[in-house]
Structures are given as structure tokens and as C-alpha cells.
Structure 1
Amino acid sequence: MELKRRERVLAVLAIAVLAIWAADQLLIEPLWGLWKARQERLSELSASILHGRSLVDRAAAISERWQEMRGRSLPADEPAAEQAVLVAVSRWAGTSRLGVSALKPRWREDEGGRRQIEWNAEAQGDIAQIARFLYELERDSLALRVEELDITARDNRGETLALKLRFTGLVFEEKTS
């Protein structure tokens, strides 16, 4: 059976379309996907390199900031650390004229192996005294952070307030090697 010229052209076109489709499915699509994945990876690596260069460029400033933070941490010796916080609380209470009625320390270690001292404090005063006390705590150079804060009224008019406060101080151990 001999194919006519038109049928031969259609057969060649059909075979060509199938060949192009097969090439697309077997070669072009996988290679395109690989190329896109590599482009994304190159973009990630470029961003990582830029971040690394940024860190290297800022190494001196970062190191200086780290040393400053270590200098503000509490002493590794427990009594000395407790004494430093007691002196600071006394100073804040004096500045704010807030009556501190209870102050209890508790030592603990976090997941990273860093030691912290946790303080529970109770005090009474008006809103201005409490605000000033908290301001002094936050701006102090010691490495302290307010974890929990509760203010309640002690009278019907809300003039006398009770403050319950939990704050922590960070202690960096000096490594000896």
C-alpha cells in the first residue's frame, strides 16, 4: 500500500510532533527543572555569602558588643551576683520611693546550660512610683529582664497599688581552658 504525498507529509508531521513531545517530556522538562533548582540554590548561596561578608565586616563591632554584654552580666559567684542585684533594687526603690516588701532569689539553669538568677519581688506604691521603679530596672546596666509583672489595686480608689514582679539576671561563666 503506497501512501500518497499528502499522507506522507501528515505522517512525517505526526512523527515530528511525537518526537518533539517526547524530547520535551524526557529532556527539556527535567533539564528545565534542574536548571531552576540550581538557580534557586545559587540565589540562596549568594544570599548566604552576602550575609557572611556582612558578619565579617561587622566582626569588630559584634565582638565589642558581645564583650559589653558579658561585662554587664552578673558575677559568676552566687553571693556576689545576689549582692549586686540587692544593691540595684535598693537603689531603684530609693529613686522611685517604692516600698519593696519581699525579694527572693532562685538560681536555675536553662536549656543552653546558662545560669540565671530569678528574682520574685513584691512592692507597694502609687502608679508613678511603680513606673519609676520599672524604668530604673529596665535602664540599669545589669543584664536583667522582666519576665512577669502583675499590678493590682490595694484600695477601692486605686491609689495604692501592689506590684508582683519576676525578673531574671544572666550569668556568664568564665571558661577556663
Structure 2
Amino acid sequence: MQVYSFTNTGRQIDAAGNFIRYERETTAAADASVRVRVDGNDFGTWLPGDFVELPEQFRTVEIVPIAGAAGEFRVGSGRFNSSRFLLTGQPTTNIAATVAARSDFTSTAKAATVGSTQLVAANPTRNYLLIQNNDTTGAYISVAFGVAATLANGVRIAAGGFWEWTDSVPKNAANVIGNVANANLVVVEG
């Protein structure tokens, strides 16, 4: 893995690999987004922290800043994990740094009951969603989108577990139910 800098005019990186990550924006530009092309194929608009691991090797990566950003990309073979970005594992206290470039966000303490209740309302501009079950008593919750939650129809999140969306983020309302009353939750939305 190697880190490549790019300027506000962009850069073509001639390096073979199967992994690309937008490490960071270095100029504090108002818009940190860049367009990425891999071997001539458009991979869309990226923000810091976005990455892709491809099944096949590529030869070139082209970076075109949308509004004059400059920064760094990591390119190479295999996956590179960093504690600076929330890629896998338990949430860290740095969730804000992961999504701050995308939108404002809120962190809200919630409670699940033994009946289906709305956890978050529908939000057509939602770009990020994290639901964490902070309950310490072994309680689990079940989350369903667009329908009432039951213990059987939702996605189960065990005590201490979480569910995070950074791509294909649901825009509709989420409902939750717990197997015990008052399971402690945290919702981060942006």
C-alpha cells in the first residue's frame, strides 16, 4: 500500500492494485468530494473515508476534485485498515470524524420497549445511520424499516452490538422492539 497525494487540479495514479481509499482532504476546502475513475471506469463521487476493494487488479486511478480539494489516496493490493476510519469492529468515539464531511449528524439516546415504537422518522436526506444496542443486561432488539417491528421480522442486534449504514442508507422510518422493556440504545444519524 502506498499513499499518493493529489492537488486541487487532480491526479492520475499509475499503480496496480485492487484497493483504493480516499484517506483525507488536506486543504479544508468547502467541498472535499472528488470524482474517481479506475481504468477509465467512473466510480462516482467520493468523500474522505470512502474506499473500494475490487476483485481484480486495476492499473490506473484518476482523481478529479469537484471543488478544488486536495488530499491523499491509499492505493495498493489487499485491504488496509486504519483506526482513523470506522471500517469494521465496534464504534469508536470518532464516529463524528467519519461522517462530518458528509453532513451534520445527531446522536440520540433511545429506549426500546416490548412493543414496536418508531426509532427514527423517515428522512429523505439521510446519508448515515448507526443503531447501537448499549444495553448491558443481555437484552436484544429487532429493527424493521417501513413496517412495525416484531422480534421475528427485524434485524436482531445483541447487547453491545451495532448496525451501521454508510452506503445504501435507508431513508424510510425505522421501528424497534426489545425482548425486555427499556433496552438502552444510541442512534447516530446524518
Q: TM-score range by the shorter chain?
A: under 0.3
Q: When you count strand as a share of all residues, which structure comes out higher?
A: 2
Bigger proportion of residues as helix: 1
Report the TM-score, using the length of structure 2 for normalisation.
0.22
Q: Whose Rg is larger?
A: 1
Q: TM-score, normalised by structure 1?
A: 0.23
